[in-house]
Amino acid sequence: MHPIERRRSIAEEVASRLRHAIVEGDFRLGEALSERQLAESLNVSKTPVREALAQLRLEGLVNIYPQRGVAVFTLSAREIRDICELRLALEEAALRYAIERNPERLADRLSEVVARMEKAHASGDERAYLAADTDYHQVFFECCDNAYLESTYTLYVGKLAALRTHLSHKPDHTRRSDEEHHHMLDLIRARDLPECLAVLKRHIDRVSTTYSENVKDIAAADSGQPKA
């Protein structure tokens, strides 16, 4: 029997559009979202918008407040530390297995991504660069031969990509991040797993140390406006 090809529902299409807008930074972290305005801009009813927002809530991309509405997620410095610790645990494991099991494929795929990053950087295409940055880390999971690791990472990849967009407005962060991507690729080609893991740790730790522990809302802190 031939499998039934299911068309994407309107709610799924709305979720995809909104997810993309959050990751790309079209909506700011902490920005309030109106179901009515979203429905009007997408030319749909409020029902698929509500369903889409419920899905994005499960992915951690929006917060839904009873009687108050919906807003794009934002994090405290403590929450950034926690998500970075989870990210480090997952990426260290994926990178270790990828180097052990598929070193040539890993190096080839990362070389392709780095070439895209260089092209985007040269042309000043920040969005293309950030998309390639997300793909760089996704390659670890594509090459690790562990479906459970990959599926767990997928739960957080959207939020991590949105954070990457947020941090891209800090030029020194992006410059150092780019240098580390190239360095890790060189170490992977040399099969130097210990040093590669050390660079990865510095790469991720820098995100968690961007804000002091007393910052309750990173979006408000970066805008210079206290959170109400």
Reported as a single tens digit per residue, the pLDDT across 172-228 is 888 899 999 999 999 999 999 999 999 999 999 998 888 888 899 999 888 765 554
Please report which confidence band the pLDDT of residue 39 belongs to, taking 50, 70 and 90 as the band edges: very high
Reported as a single tens digit per residue, the pLDDT across 104-152 is 999 999 999 999 999 998 999 999 999 999 999 999 999 999 999 999 9
Q: Which amino acid makes up residue 179?
A: E
Minimal CA–CA distance to 200: which of 223, 216, 219, 180? 180
Q: Which residue has the tokens 């700011």?
A: 28
Q: What pLDDT is stored for residue 5 in this prediction?
A: 55
Q: What are the strands of the beta sheet with 62-65, ordered from one edge?
A: 32-33, 69-72, 62-65
Q: State the helix-helix crossing angle for 35-42 and 46-58, rounded to 10 degrees.
A: 110
Reported as a single tens digit per residue, the pLDDT across 141-178 is 999 999 999 999 999 999 999 999 998 888 788 889 99
User: 3-16: buried (b, 16+ CB within 10 Å) or exposed (e) per residue?
Assistant: eeeeeeebbeebbe
Domains with residue ranges and CATH for the chain: 10-72 (1.10.10.10), 77-208 (1.20.120.530)
- Report the C-alpha gap between 124 and 13 in whole angstroms: 29
Strands (E), the chain: 32-33, 62-65, 69-72
Give the H/E segment covering residue 49.
helix 46-58
Contact indicator for 187, 195 with CB cutoff of 8 Å: yes
Q: Is the dihedral of CA 51, 57, 61, 63 positive or negative?
A: positive
